[in-house]
Structure 1
Amino acid sequence: MKVIISGSHGLVGSALKAHLEADGCSVEALSRDFTKPINFEGVDAVVHLAGESIATGRWNTSKKKRIEESRVVGTRQLAEQLAKSPAKPKVFISASAIGYYGDRDDEILSEESAAGTGFLSSVCEKWEESTLPAESAGIRTVKIRTGIVLSKKGGALAKMLPPFKMGGGGKLGNGRQYMSWISLYDMVGIIRFLIENENIHGPVNLVAPNAVTNLEFTKVLGTVLHRPVIMPLPAFAARLIFGEMADALLLSSTRVIPQKLLDNGYQFKHADLQPALEDSLK
């Protein structure tokens, strides 16, 4: 099997590349310049993960523009190349995020749930719509709405570890906001599952079945690290430090279930948070 991956140097892309190559697959890295012609001859799957980091830096006007353009414009350019190519892969898997749903309190959200409001929801809607040229050309297209990926090598968990290890961790805001997470192991396994399962298309929630509140997450992480969690960060302080990003990423509540994955028989290695964190921190 031959797979092309954009974003192959990122946290998920590098893990996926290593997994596929270890299994004997041919993997080609794709640059972020999607205006250059791409040869899809003999390619079975295209996995598009590239995009400007959402969680680094404050969301000023230029940062928000880069976030949107790197996702919407880049995805559209790639999808248009796929549509025009005489040689077409069997599947196009394109990144999205559970930010699609916005801040929804304790509402249980499946792939059938409507989009939310706000900057991230708007970006995710446009991001997913940008895959349409490939889908219209008959390529099976899967949009992976990804939750918080657990890994000590990068992402949200890696940023949380230093204060927690020093005993300075605690809940964010009131701690009641839901966090929908996924282990890096399952993230990679699910993408492989989606490549091979021809029945699945459209949006797919890449989260574990058991979302937890921020307070629960904080307590479990403290338990795994054997550290106290006694330093909460009030909502007003989070907003002062992180600006608009605080409400969109840290204080918003998104309780997502992986309905399509469950319906299609994916077996999670990490369905519960504590073993997922224990394995992620080894």
Structure 2
Amino acid sequence: MRILMAGASGFLGTRLADLLTADGHEVTRLVRRPPRTVDERQWNPSAAQLDPAVMAAADVVVNLAGAGVGDRRWNDEYKRVIRSSRVDTTTTLAITIAGLPAADRPQVLVNSSAVGWYGDTGDRTVEEDAPAGDGFLADVCRVWEAATRPAEDAGVRVVRLRTGLPLHRAGGMLKPQLLPFRLGIAGRLGSGRQWLPWISMEDWLNAAAYTIARADLAGPVNAVGAAPVTNAEFTRELARQLHRPAIIPIPALALKVALGGFAHEALTSARVLPGVLTKAGFTYRHPDLRSALHAALVE
């Protein structure tokens, strides 16, 4: 298949593009700078600019674009960047798809979203039919997902991939924790009772590819592992695998000083289950946290 990808240079996009290419697909990367290779095409989502001919050449569109939520301390300006980097890209892709003749439209748009949709669920488990929660990330996810509507209204299959916390030593939520854990100066965040919707990197990649291949899957899909754990459980297992103690809890107040507005999200409990993937028969390579962390740290 011919796959057009936005966000192909990011933490997840780089690995997904490599997987899809290895599987024999032709991946074209959307970039904001002038193209440097034959597999790149330029666009400007901030100005809603994308050549329709580029879209018409694709069978599949994958959108993983968006500024990292944990890359910087949150302030009002960076919160605007988080929102616009997701909504502008999605809107540009969806409107361009809808503007094509029906015969030229791609078959599917797999658009990134996040488990932030659900807000703080406490100890309550949620699947894809749960409504949006409260908070900044929930609001971002609401408008982010709504931006796919023009493509859906045009009859294109749209998958809204609500990603949890992919585990890999090179990025995501795991990378910044490794040094303090190895130095023995880490511990649970706040109370440690908040639930973490983790997923191994291999399983996330396979789940994304699965939604491309399965023509019967549409709408929200939770890309999370089948067994969420609390932050305290995650902390204990990570410390065990690194052979280090993890006895220094990080108080909520310290997180707020260090992270600004992101501290609230870091302490949010999201007990999210992969309802759609489970019902569809998706098989996890790493069904438990122990094997997922081992893969993230060693493989």
TM, length-normalised to structure 1: 0.97
The residue that corresponds to 2:232 in the other structure is 215
User: Which amino acid in 1 is paired with 2:190?
Assistant: G
The one-letter code of the counterpart of 2:237 is V
1:43 matched to 2:58? The reply is yes
Give 1:96's aligned residue.
113
Letter in 2 for 1:262: T
Residue identity matched to 1:269: R
Task: Classify the secondary structure of the residue corresponding to 2:188.
Answer: coil
Equivalent residue for 1:62? 77
Q: What residue in structure 1 maps to residue 28 of structure 2?
A: 28
Shift of 1:252: 0.6
> How many Å apart are 1:153 and its aligned residue?
1.1
Runs of 4+ in 1 over 4 A off after TM superposition: none
Give distance in 1, aligned partners of 2:255 and 2:93: 36
Corresponding residue of 2:15: 15
Q: Structure 2 matches for 1:48-197, cutoff 5 A?
A: 48-86=63-101, 87-197=104-214
- The one-letter amino acid of 1:177's match is Q
- How is 1:188-267 mapped onto 2 (pairs within 5 angstroms)? 188-248=205-265, 250-267=266-283
2:289 matched residue in structure 1: 273
Q: Secondary structure at the match of 1:125?
A: helix
Q: Check the 8 A contact 2:50/2:96 in 1, yes or no.
A: no
CA-atom RMSD, angstroms? 1.0
State the shift of 1:23 in Å: 1.4
Equivalent residue, structure 1, for 2:4: 4
Counterpart CA distance in 2 for 1:269 and 1:41 is 35
- Give, as a single letter, the amino acid of the residue that structure 2 aligns with 1:78: L
Query: Matches of 1:236 and 1:125 in 2, distance apart?
Result: 28
CA offsets per residue over residues 242-274 of structure 1, 9 Å max, x none? Answer: 1221111x1110000000000000001111001
Contact kept, 8 Å, 2:193 with 2:232, in 1: the verdict is: yes
User: Does the 8 Å contact 2:55/2:96 carry over to 1?
Assistant: no
Give the 3-state SS of the residue equivalent to 2:15 in structure 1.
Answer: helix
TM-score (norm 2): 0.92
Equivalent position amino acid for 2:10 in 1? G
Measured after TM superposition, the shift of residue 42 of structure 1 is 4.0
Q: CA deviation at 1:36?
A: 2.7
Kindly state the Cα deviation for residue 41 of structure 1 after the two structures are TM-superposed.
Answer: 3.3
Could you tell me whether the CA contact under 8 Å between 2:50 and 2:92 is conserved in 1? Answer: no
1:183 shift after superposition: 1.0
Question: Percent of counterpart pairs with the same letter?
Answer: 41
For residues 284 and 174 of structure 2, the distance between their equivalents in structure 1, rounded to whole angstroms, comes to: 20
Q: Distance in 1 between matches of 2:251 and 2:74?
A: 20
- Say how many residue pairs are matched: 281
